Structure formats: structure tokens, C-alpha cells
Amino acid sequence: MKGPVPTTDCVATAQPPEDDLDWEEDSTLPGIASTRHVLVVEDDSSLRELMARQLAFEGYFVTEASDAQAMLEAVQSSCESCQNTFDLIVTDVRMPGMTGLDALARIRESGCHTPAIVVSALPGEMVQSEVQALNALLLPKPFALENLRQIVNRVVYGDQCQKLATI
């Protein structure tokens, strides 16, 4: 499996494995996910890499960011190049410096409405209301990778995901 390929000091990209020729056949949405781009923002490098690898295995093109500032830079860079390159943002709440919620609020204020999933070890009432106000979904930690896969597919593909899952 190819490892992450650095693109800046704090952003790396994971791609679907080239050594597993059957990876698309194992995906819930075969051949479709490979065109979708997910930004994964998590300060815990082990968890970030695990999420990125799982999503890459599912066929998503994944960009990793280690903190909220890197998330803002990645989204701003995609906006400046006139490309809305991210189909989904998956971000942690608590990170050094700025929180994922604060960064997501800035992104929303800039006019970017990319769907978002917020992961949190402390999904209290305050976090839940902030997540809802940002029109995002909350995924409590700890979570199973299967739960991550399901919620990402549901957010990215909506009804199409449900139809394909029943085939």
C-alpha cells in the first residue's frame, strides 16, 4: 500500500492502494468513490492516518491535515484555484490552536458549504448545538471504522448510497 504523499508541511494525501487490484470490488460503492475527495483533519496522527487509509481503501481521494489552520489553508487553496476540490470535510473538534468547529465556522462564513462530519470525544450538548448550527453531522469518539465508512458514504452519496447498498 502506498503511504501518504506530503503536499505541504502539514497536509498529506492518501490514495487508494495500487497493490490491491480488487479494492473497488470490496467497496460498497464500487468505482464511484474514487472520484470523491475527502479532507480529514485530526491532530492525533495515528487516528488521522487510520481514517485516511480506510477512506482511501473505500476509493476516496483523501487529503490529511494535522490541525485547524492546515484545514483552513487547504480549503482556501482549493477556493483560490477556483476548484471546490473537497466533497467532504471530516474534522476533530479539539486540536492545538484553533478548534475544528471554529475553523469550520470560518469556512462557512467564507461561503463554502462543503458537507462536514465533526468527530468528538466529548460530544456534549454544547458541541452538538454548534455542529448543528454549522450544518454538519456529529460522530462521537470512539467510533468503529465501519461507522465512519457508513456516515461518509451517506453524506457524500445520500439516497444513491442507500440504493446501491440494497443491490
Q: Name residue, grid cell 483552513.
A: 72
Strand order through the sheet with 11-14: 5-6, 11-14, 61-65, 37-41, 88-92, 116-120, 137-140
Instruction: Note the pLDDT of residue 84.
Output: 59
Instruction: Note the pLDDT of residue 71.
Output: 96
Cβ proximity of 11 and 74 under 8 Å? yes
Residue range 147-160, pLDDT digits in tens: 999 999 999 988 55
Is the pTM higher than 0.85? The answer reads no
Backbone angles phi, psi at 33, to 5 degrees: -60, -25
For residue 132, which of 97, 94, 105 has the smallest C-alpha distance? 105
Residue range 30-59, pLDDT digits in tens: 444 457 899 999 999 999 999 999 999 999
Share of the chain above pLDDT 70, in %: 71
Dist CA 115 CA 136 (whole Å): 6
- pLDDT in tens for each of the 167 residues of the chain? 334 433 333 344 554 444 443 433 333 444 444 578 999 999 999 999 999 999 999 999 999 999 999 999 999 887 665 565 899 999 999 999 999 999 999 999 988 889 999 999 988 999 999 999 999 999 999 999 999 999 999 999 885 544 444 33
All structural domains of the chain with their residue ranges: 5-165
Q: Give the DSSP letter of residue 25.
A: H
Give the right CATH number for 5-165 from 3.40.50.2300, 3.40.50.970, 3.60.110.10, 3.40.605.10.
3.40.50.2300
